[in-house]
Amino acid sequence: MVTSLAGCPPAAWALSDIPQIPGQQQPEEPDSSTAPEPTEDEKSDDDAADPGLTGIPDPDPLINKPGEDQTDADTAEPQKPPPEVIYDISKAPEPVRRMRELMIEAAASGDIERLRALMNPGPNQTQIQLGTDEDDPVAKLKSLSGDPDGVEILAILIDILSTGFVRVDAGTRDEAYVWPYFAEKPLSLLTPPEKVELLRIVTAGDFAEMEELGNYNFFRLGISPDGQWKFFAAGD
């Protein structure tokens, strides 16, 4: 039997097939070409709202511009060159040469009392700067020796006076000729032959400790230009 379609509801309209009501205008699609340009404030708001947008990063505060800071090397005072090491005793004044000779003779005798007459008894007495409580200068020397008679100190005295020497504080009231020169020359600047010379006075262990400290800290002595034995000291 043929069924009539006249009584059946029409099929759903497609969106494009919806008839336009007479007198009603169809809404126009916006024309992107005529859309107003966003203002600067709107652009800023849009950029802030979009986490994917990034601007130019601020300069790193850790970056120093040239000329802002100076390094320690620029501001540090230049180190003075080490004094000239002298081996020729004839370059020292005659009074200095004479005192050195007398000291070696006294030390070689084995009698430490022979040094007493060379230590300037009185107000200009030789300064024994060795941290001992003894008042008598010869007793101070004995207290530093490994033996009761002070023979070890006499041997050290000869060894020291057998090295090169330096002139310090030239032209001042503190001018002196100092033995050994290691007391005034940085250990880092010693040549291999000079290290050998130093090891004739100290042990290898002592030398290693001195290198850690950065300076010579064994015995040293000074003679003034007029031939006075100024000091005998040890330490930094």
The Cα-based distances of 171 to 81, 94, 176 in angstroms read 18, 17, 10
The single-letter code of the amino acid at 73 is A
Task: Look at residue 52 and tell me if it is in a domain.
Answer: no
Question: Whole-prediction pTM value?
Answer: 0.65
Range of the domain at 144: 93-233
Q: Tell me the Ramachandran region of residue 122: left when phi exceeds 0, alpha when psi lies from -120 to 50, beta otherwise.
A: left
The residue behind tokens 């032959």 is: 193
Residue 32 domain-assigned?
no
Residue 10 lies in a domain: no
157 in a domain, yes or no?
Answer: yes
Task: Determine contact, residues 151/157, Cβ cutoff 8 Å.
Answer: no
Between strands 229-233 and 220-223, the pairing is antiparallel
Whether residue 61 lies inside any domain: the answer is no
In a domain, 152, yes or no: yes
Domain count along the chain: 1
Sign (positive/negative) of CA torsion 60, 66, 68, 71? positive
Residues 6+ apart with CB under 8 A from 148: 142
Report the C-alpha gap between 138 and 116 in whole angstroms. Answer: 6
DSSP state of 152: H
pLDDT along the chain (236 residues), means of 10: 44 44 49 56 52 53 49 56 89 98 98 95 84 80 91 96 95 94 92 94 94 92 97 84
The verdict on residue 141 lying in a domain is yes
Determine, yes or no, domain membership for 153.
yes
